[in-house]
Amino acid sequence: MRKKEPPRKFGISFNDVIAKSQSIQPLYMQDLNSFTSFDPSFTSVLGEELLTETREALEDFSGSSHMAEINRATEKITGLLDDSAKVYQKLIYFVHSSFGSTKAIDNTFGRYQYLKARKSEKLMVPLLKQAAKAASLEQFKSGLEAQGMPPRLIQEIEHLAELLAEADDQQEMLKKQQLLVTSQRIDLYNSIWDKLVKINTAAKIIFIDDAARMAIYKLYDGKPSETEITETGEETTEG
């Protein structure tokens, strides 16, 4: 079973989590005595950890850089599919010129799978292998070469099948790694959010009569969005 991303505890964007932390962390350090008097578990360590994690989040380019790798792999596959289509169509030209376009011939060279394979490397690889294998059979090879098929066309088809299979494997590996990158990123932001929620919960009591401060300690902007996504996926009102 394919693993899923860990649940997000925050109902805002990654950038908004960072923005909230950048606003709240310095004010928390400024108000530390008030927090510590309210609850001794509030210490400078919490503020320092929040600052460190926020800096890590700001420096985190893992998600975007990894996605760029996936995009490059996809572009490579697209190019190989185009090349594969050209050599396959070239082979079919010589096949039809030599043996006609009968159903039996087209089945032997996989022509009826071509339209779907044209858009899928997972289908194109076996199609190329089937076509190359058929063209290598003595009953077809001599006739194809007599008709003018370049001797290296079969090897070219086999090579493209190998390149396409390798590119597909690389793309699949990157996609699996992407889940890990995303999971690590969500874990970091969840940790930041846990600290912000802890600070916010206490601040609503400590500064109940200080609207200006609470405007900064507030986690969500606007009444419709004032919900916190919990680990169980439930939504609870959170200011």
DSSP 129-179: HHHHHHHHSHHHHHHHHHTT--TTHHHHHHHHHHHHHHHHHHHHHHHHHHH
Its domain, for residue 47, covers 14-64+187-237
User: Is the per-residue pLDDT at 224 higher than 50?
Assistant: no
Note whether residue 169 is domain-resident: yes
Q: Give residue 124's identity as a one-letter amino acid code.
A: M
Q: What is the pTM of this model?
A: 0.57
Q: How many CA atoms lie within 13 A of 130 on its CB side?
A: 17
Same-domain status, 120 and 200: no
Residue predicted with more confidence, 65 or 20: 20
Note whether residue 7 is domain-resident: no
DSSP state of 23: H
Least trusted range by pLDDT, from 58-67, 119-128, 199-208: 58-67
Note whether residue 103 is domain-resident: yes
Residue after which a domain boundary falls, among 155, 175, 195: 175
Mean pLDDT (the chain, rounded): 88
Task: Please state the rounded mean pLDDT for residues 119-143.
Answer: 96
Residue after which a domain boundary falls, among 125, 147, 175: 175
- The dihedral built from the CA positions of residue 147, 150, 151 and 155, taken in this order, carries a sign that is negative
Same-domain status, 85 and 170: yes
**Whole-number percent of the chain with pLDDT over 90:** 71
Note whether residue 182 is domain-resident: no
Residue predicted with more confidence, 68 or 34: 34
User: Is the per-residue pLDDT at 200 higher than 80?
Assistant: yes
Same-domain status, 93 and 161: yes
Task: Please state the rounded mean pLDDT for residues 174-181.
Answer: 71
